[in-house]
A and B are shown apart, each in its own frame.
Chain A
């Protein structure tokens, strides 16, 4: 393809269009673009590499390299800090993030898959409303959703406590879970819908022609075909929940912390090697998981 762009135009034609100075400069365009692209890749990865390297630095107060250590990972409580694997607050928050992530993913995937089916396969009046609402939720600044959900939970809690004595939405685990599900649903719907769009309906028709019930067709044909889409959606939903900071910051209570909230409170104090260590663990985990899944997906693509 690049050859087409590079090859010389017919000589007779060239006289008719005057080549600008830019055109002659662009002879080296391919090299320029490649250099630029590699610089961008460097830009994307440099901070992450720096983060990882400095999680092994002995120096605590600034980024001067003073020697290699792994104490920010393993160290027991000392006067000047504690290794991340012995930091009780951090471990609790990590566990909370995992629990919230798993539960919100399950809920968001169930609700989102049903919604995607409704929007892609059925015709009904309010369809455009839900569609528009989903896209709006994805694109608007998260802070607005965060603060409004906070006020909503406070108000609902007040109402139920005052009139019925029910403690249904104390700020904490439940409110964070509900808000994360609301945050993930639109993303699940978009991904699963894209998978449903490329679905060959003849497969389903064949299934029912061969005498399968609609439920049978769904579980034995439709679900296996869209499974990669559902899996991708679940992975995204978990990541969104696990990394979510803005919504969680507003809707949680003082007793319930997730990992990003702990990181925020540490980062506000400035550079600390502990944060580098947590970050390194999180970055490497997500890189390894995503890379493995991506490579696996392409290997199976090649086989198919």
Chain B
């Protein structure tokens, strides 16, 4: 491959954009998370000298862990943390269980039909997830379609209150993230040499044994990639929990939303975002260490 100035020259617009509008902002929230938000003057103060009375002076030292202390000591954030963990694990497992048979089914189709099913899988992805999440309100609401249907069939006598519970969040999330799991799974099932199934069969293995000893081990990279693509973005999710979970269920993403748009405390919001960022980066680094960058 050619060396010289060509590469750096071509990459420079992208590099500039990424450094200015991605890296620099991340660095800024890192700094801000140690800052102190004035009560009257709404700009965040950050100084290098420490102040013993930040409330009065309106400044706080850069070594200060003020915001982090607030996050750790407030049980609200602890609750938000474990609810977020539950949400991420639930969504990832849900997508995996629902998506694996679907990916398997599509990968066994041939030619045109395979393309048709892939198109069917990807089509909803091209519309706004806000709209797709909203659609579930119509279905899950107390007077919504699901309840009307179940009452009509006679399964239940009084409406199920699914909307504004963790179940509603789970349904909405799995719905939004299913293609992100199914696609990498599809790719890795596709890659398996058909002769391997044949060999397994010839050696006397049944279907379950073939799945457990051949298909599953060979699709581990797809499973891991799918879990990463579903799991990591879910950590910061706030739209689905806010729309389908109501105001009672507060997750990490919605507490960041509130810090910025309700209390207007940018320093606290930065600390919350920074914690989230560190967790996500740790998972990404772990993945790269374990699996390398090939599977992306």
Residues of A participating in the B interface, judged by any CB pair closer than 8 Å: 1-2, 4-5, 7, 9-10, 13-14, 16-17, 19-20, 22-27, 29, 32-34, 36-37, 40-41, 43-48, 50-51, 54, 62-64, 110-112, 114-115, 117-119, 121-124, 126-127, 130-137, 139-145, 147-152, 155, 158, 178-179, 181-182, 185, 189, 239, 242-243, 245-246, 249-250, 260, 263-264, 267-268, 270-271, 275-276, 279, 282-283, 286-287, 290-291, 294, 298
Contact = CB atoms under 8 A, between A and B. Distances in A.
Given A13-B202, A143-B257, A243 B128 contact: yes
Given A40-B102, A141-B280, A155 B28 contact: yes
A125 B277 CA distance: 26
A145 B3 CA distance: 33
Contacts of A36: 101-102, 105
Contacts of A24: 206
14 contacts: A19-B209, A23-B205, A32-B101, A114-B11, A115-B13, A140-B232, A245-B129, A245-B239, A263-B134, A264-B130, A271-B138, A283-B127, A283-B131, A291-B123
A152 B141 contact: no
A279 B273 CA distance: 31
B126 to A, nearest CB: 5
Contacts of B108: 1-2
By secondary structure, the A interface counts as helix
Contacts of A264: 130, 239
Given A121-B1, A264-B130, A62 B141 contact: yes
Contacts of A10: 202, 204
A37 B105 contact: yes
B273 A51 contact: no
Given A185-B17, A283-B127, A50 B238 contact: no
B207 interface: yes
Contact of A54 (B14, B138, B256, B296): B138
Main secondary structure of the interface of B (DSSP, over half): helix
Interface stretch (B19-27, B56-64, B75-83, B216-224): B19-27
B21 A178 contact: yes
B7 A127 contact: yes
Contact of B14 (A136, A185, A275): A185
Given A148-B26, A291-B119, A263 B21 contact: no
A144 B273 contact: yes
Contacts of B138: 47, 50-51, 54, 63, 271, 276
Nearest to A1: B194
A124 B135 CA distance: 48
Contact of A152 (B4, B25, B119): B25
A130 B11 contact: yes
Contacts of B21: 149, 152, 178-179, 181-182
A118 to B, nearest CB: 4
B128 A43 contact: no
A147 B256 contact: yes
B98 interface: yes
A130 B18 contact: yes
A40 B273 contact: no
A63 B2 contact: no
Nearest to B208: A22
A185 B19 CA distance: 12
Given A112-B14, A178-B21, A181-B17, 19 more contacts: A10-B204, A23-B205, A23-B208, A26-B207, A27-B207, A40-B98, A44-B120, A44-B175, A115-B13, A117-B10, A118-B8, A121-B1, A122-B2, A136-B284, A137-B22, A143-B236, A143-B256, A245-B130, A249-B261
Contacts of B234: 141
A282 B206 contact: no
Contacts of B296: 135
Contacts of A121: 1-2, 6-7
Contact of B127 (A132, A271, A286): A286
B210 interface: yes
Contacts of A155: 28
B129 A243 contact: yes
A252 B10 CA distance: 30
Contacts of B6: 118, 121-122
A43 B235 contact: no
B209 A50 contact: no
Nearest to B104: A33
A243 B144 CA distance: 26
A4 B119 contact: no
Contacts of B155: none
Contact of A133 (B18, B135, B205, B293): B18
Contact of A118 (B11, B143, B144, B280): B11
Given A41-B120, A50-B138, A290-B126, A147 B209 contact: no
Interface string B107-138: 01010100101011111101111111011111
Interface in B58-104: 98-99, 101-102, 104
A37 B260 contact: no
